[in-house]
Every structure is written in C-alpha cells, then in structure tokens.
Amino acid sequence: MDERIKLETRDKQPQEVVELVLDNCKATQISGLTSDFTKLTTLSMINVGLISLDGFPKLPSLRTIDLSDNKLSGDLEKLVENCPKLYHVNLCANKIAAYESLVPLKKLEELTALDLFDCAVTEISDYREKVFEMLPQLKYLDGFDINDDEAELSDEDEADLHENPSDEELLDEEENGLSLSYLDSSKALQDEDESEDFLENEQKNGEFGKNDEAAQGKKRKHEGDVEEEPQEKV
C-alpha cells in the first residue's frame, strides 16, 4: 500500500491530495496513509483485502470512502473517530453480519448514504427498517430511501434545499468528491439506453437513409450551381 500511495500521489504533497484511489493494492491493514492528508475528501480502497482498520489515520476532511470487496467484519470505531465528516460510506461485500457492527456509525452526524450490498447483515429480516431506525441521520441505504424510492437528489442537499441543483452546484460537488457513485452510473446508463433506442427507431423508420440521400442531393445540386462568368459585349 505504501508504494501505491507514492505512485498515486506522485509529486504532490499529502496535504495537496483531494482524491486517492488505492483499489486492488493488496494489504490486510492500513499502511502509508497518514494524517498528513488533511484535505483528502474521497478515498477508495476496493478489493484490497483489509481485515481490519488498524492504522487508519485522522482524515478530518474525508467525506466519501469506498471499502467494498474487503474482509471487514466490524472495527468501524477507528473510521468514525478519525473521519467525523463522513457523508457516504460503502461497505458492500464485506463480512458484516450483525447490526452491532454498525452501531459506531451512529456518531457520524453527517452520514447520509450507506451501502451494504452483499453483506450478510442484509439477509436479516426487516434489515432496512432496523438500519434506518438505528441510524436516524441516514437518508439512503443501498441507493434507496426509507420509502424505497430511488435516490434522486444531489448529495449535498442539506435539508432538501436544492431540489434542482444548478450545473455549477453539481460541478462543485463532483470536485469535492461528494457525488454518489450509484446515482452517476445509473444516469449514465439511462442516457446510453435512450441513445440506443433513438438510433434503433431511426434506423427502423428509414430516417437515416432518407436524410443521407437528401444531404447528398443538396450537395450535388450545390456542386452543379456554378455561376457562369458574364461574357463581354463586343
């Protein structure tokens, strides 16, 4: 992990790093990540092999952390104590099997989104109701709110003040690493599907062929309209 951190940060000083991706670098616990990363807002450690969060440093600016596909069964106290401003926590595909493992998250006052897909705890009866009851500050669990409505609002919608965020606001959120990955990916997939449907319908209706023929006809007409130079009178 130490070498990967050096590679990712390159010539930057730790206090200059805002986003850090350490996916797939193999380690059973944290090493090389220090409290010098004071401005770090987004940290991704997917499929690292972590079995504990021993050595996790104080990261006061951290807002989003992705710990999916690891071997964590709990030990979230260090995460909560050292990252009090966490907004989105992804613990998908870990070994979290009991509600007790999630109790430390109560102290994260700004926690808004939590992902636990493929964790054993999700198989317990009334899982969603119990987690929302345990974490009253939580707004989205596995991408859906307490009413099973899919998340639609922007991440930083403090008290629902930004139902229709401006482009500038969305850009600010992306730069701060606050956007929810499942929202971004679903929107991209939706746009892609709509584009494919449009192309398919156009091809069925023969519009592309007609448009191409019309364009070629206009081009030929244009090329044939060569102005004749006036002949001088004798």
Burial of 147 from C-beta contacts in 10 A (0-12 / 13-18 / 19+)? exposed
Q: How confident is the model at residue 203 (pLDDT cuts 50, 70, 90)?
A: low
Q: Taking the CB of residue 135, how many other CB atoms lie within 10 A of it?
A: 17
Return mean pLDDT, the chain.
Answer: 78
3-state secondary structure of 97: coil
Distance separating alpha carbons of residues 132 and 181, to the nearest angstrom:
21
Distance separating alpha carbons of residues 10 and 162, to the nearest angstrom:
37
Using only C-alpha atoms, the chain has a radius of gyration, in whole angstroms, of 26
Give pLDDT tens digits for 170-195: 444 444 444 444 444 434 444 444 55
Share of the chain above pLDDT 90, in %: 60
Assess contact for 145 and 152: CB atoms under 8 A.
no
Assess contact for 173 and 154: CB atoms under 8 A.
yes
Distance separating alpha carbons of residues 12 and 45, to the nearest angstrom:
20
CA angle, residues 178, 66, 143, in degrees to nearest 5: 65
Give pLDDT tens digits for 79-110: 999 999 999 999 999 999 999 999 999 999 99
Q: Taking the CB of residue 114, how many other CB atoms lie within 10 A of it?
A: 22
Give pLDDT tens digits for 138-154: 999 999 999 999 986 45
The pLDDT of residue 196: 53
What pairing do the DSSP bridges indicate for beta strands 88-90 and 140-141? Answer: unpaired
Distance separating alpha carbons of residues 142 and 114, to the nearest angstrom:
6
CA angle, residues 170, 175, 181, in degrees to nearest 5: 70
Give pLDDT tens digits for 104-134: 999 999 999 999 999 999 999 999 999 999 9
**pTM higher than 0.85 for the full model?**
no
Instruction: Name the residue with tokens 């007409």.
Output: 221
Q: How confident is the model at residue 215 (pLDDT cuts 50, 70, 90)?
A: very low
Question: Among residues 31, 10, 216, 105, which one has the least CA distance to residue 115?
Answer: 105
Distance separating alpha carbons of residues 7 and 10, to the nearest angstrom:
5
